[in-house]
Amino acid sequence: MYKTFTIFCVIIYSFCLCDKECGLEHIVCKKSAKFRSIDGSCNNLNNPIWGTRYSVYDRLLPPKYGDSMHTFPTALSGKSLPNPRKLTSTIYKHVMPETVSQISLSTMQYGNIVVNDMSFVYLPPNNIDCCTKNLQLLDKKDEPKECAPIQIPSDDPGFSYINATCISMTRTITNKERACSQLLNYNEQLNQVNSYLDLSIIYGNTYKDHKTIRSFQNGTLLVDIRNNHEWLPSSGSDKSNCEGNLNSAEICYRSGDKRTNMSPQLTLLQTLWVRNHNNLARNLQKLNPYWNDARLFEEARRINIAEHQFISYYEMLPLYLGKENLVNRKILYNTDEFVNDYDENIRPHIFNEHAQGAFRQFHSLIAGKLSVYNPDGYSYDSLVLRDHLNRPVALEKFKLFDGLIRGLAMQNQMESDIYYDPEITQCAFLHQLRFRGDLKSLDIQRSRDHGIASYNDMRSYCGLKKAKKFNDFLDVMDQEKLDLLLPFYETPDDVDLIVGGSMERNVKDTLAGPTFLCILYKQFYRTRRSDRFWFENEANGLTLKQLNEIRKFSISKLFCDNGNNITRMQKHGFLPVSERNPRCSCKDINGPNLLLWKHKK
């Protein structure tokens, strides 16, 4: 059944010219273009719309909707699935971990960069309220059609003391609202960023937005200069995506992505990549003074994206998914040659099961307190996450930019398990300016909004035995985890993917169980194979010598070159300091030699 479904989708998207596909319109490609587009168009010359903004999410399995088209899924009995908030407060309650992760917090935060680069659900405007002002459920007759709020139980351990009964959530906009991809006989959600791993978080996803973040001078991106350092431009009077703007004394930033201000360390990493671009542009100008602004910008952007892709795949992903597994699946290659594995028949679109399922497991890695380290490598302060969501004031006003960089490299991330820091499930989303809810509950509700296939169907797709009874889950779950599910689900077929997958034992040398790994491998294989401008592909435009210089880059080099005054760092910045990974002078951390980009006039 599922193989038939996959083939059917390919037929729809490849050959049916009668249906308007979701994404950009009226695209004309210039086949001789040397650089990738801003919006993702024309990466695939045969299907130039693939991977562009507002494309649909793809699926590995057919959706599970209550009415087969759009409504929330139900249990096989027809009853409602368990309340997401009840699941979170019971199953995912925080306990002190028995072990400490041997991976730095930078790994979690860079995973956030990667997922934001490729996926952003397309939601209705921010001004839709799905709860009353005093956090109560609306009467159904008053509830906007876009709403899918989560009811908070009366005995809730986190929110009952403020008498809240409602967590607001709106449903993702689908192909039906935009009247595209109509041959799909069910609603499919839209991705509001392009699907490629191309640093769209700093460069933008539309040419209109892109123009507002370019300086159009010497190939650089627009920045504000304060205290001799480059900062992302101020967002000015726009208060839609940052609570700091509600206080005139606090700054908020703008970049290529609306989520720039979501957390201090996310803002920090985007700032580092903007600085890295501008440093590249300035150095290229010294080497090639006759290059104009456009050439300097595109060459710097190509190098910047290549360094980002290298860090994402060759430094970060092995810690999530296991290096040997990635090499065996041809997601990584042990080579100093080109890797010409581009396949024009592979769609770059993001799998719904990846974006609303497997990768959301890594929200368990989030730390509720962000440690600040001094130049000598000692922690002297910390930020409580709840006070700094959508509020990046700490970076400049509190002068913690470098201290938080060191914190990313030196603080251990949380374990990948079912235990979530209470800062993101109990109190992190309770702030003086806005009640936000509970991240894990919202993850569960969003997966149902998208009609994600059940855990049982997905594990079967991935090669595990289809469970007929709950005990069949014990092939990949411990009994204590299975016991957590039993009070909530009536049958194995009712279990949500995002819940069941999180209960699996992590495979050795990875941060996930076999079902989530199956999804993640398929997504990251697709992401590299479908990108004509992938950094290892000869068609990207780098020479082999230049490519091997890119392979010298690292997250530690990004920290050293682009911090305010970072002078010491461990060579492996995704791993904590240890005897095998000691702190050293930044002068001893290698990086690309840009002399190889000097062109003859």
- Binding positions: 363
Partners of 224 in the β-ladder: 231
Token digits of residue 358: 């497997």
Give the list of residues 6+ apart from residue 384 with CB closer than 8 angstroms, or none: 368, 369, 423
Give the list of residues 6+ apart from residue 179 with CB closer than 8 angstroms, or none: 20
User: From CA 40, how far away is CA 198, in angstroms rounded?
Assistant: 9
> Which residues line the annotated binding site for heme b?
363
Quickly tell me which residue has 């010598």 as its tokens.
Answer: 545
How far apart, in Å, are the Cα atoms of 59 and each of 364, 480, 528? 24, 31, 18
Phi/psi of residue 152, each to 5°?
A: -90, 125
What secondary structure does DSSP assign to 263-322, as a single string? SHHHHHHHHHHHHHHHHHHHHHHHH-TT--HHHHHHHHHHHHHHHHHHIIIIIIHHHHH-
Cα angle, residue 272 at apex, residues 269 and 275 outer, rounded to 5°: 155
Assign residue 509 a region: left if phi > 0, alpha if psi is -120 to 50, beta otherwise? Answer: left
User: From CA 596, how far away is CA 340, in angstroms rounded?
Assistant: 22
Quickly tell me which residue has 């997504």 as its tokens.
Answer: 523
Long-range own/partner contacts, residues 549-552 (CB < 8 A, 24 or more apart): 549/592, 549/593, 549/594, 549/596, 550/303, 550/306, 550/307, 550/310, 550/592, 551/310, 551/314, 551/336, 552/590, 552/591, 552/592
Angle, helices 84-91 vs 439-449, to 10°: value is 140
Which helix or strand (DSSP H or E) is residue 191 part of? Answer: strand 190-191
Question: Are the CB atoms for 397 and 251 separated by under 8 Å?
Answer: yes
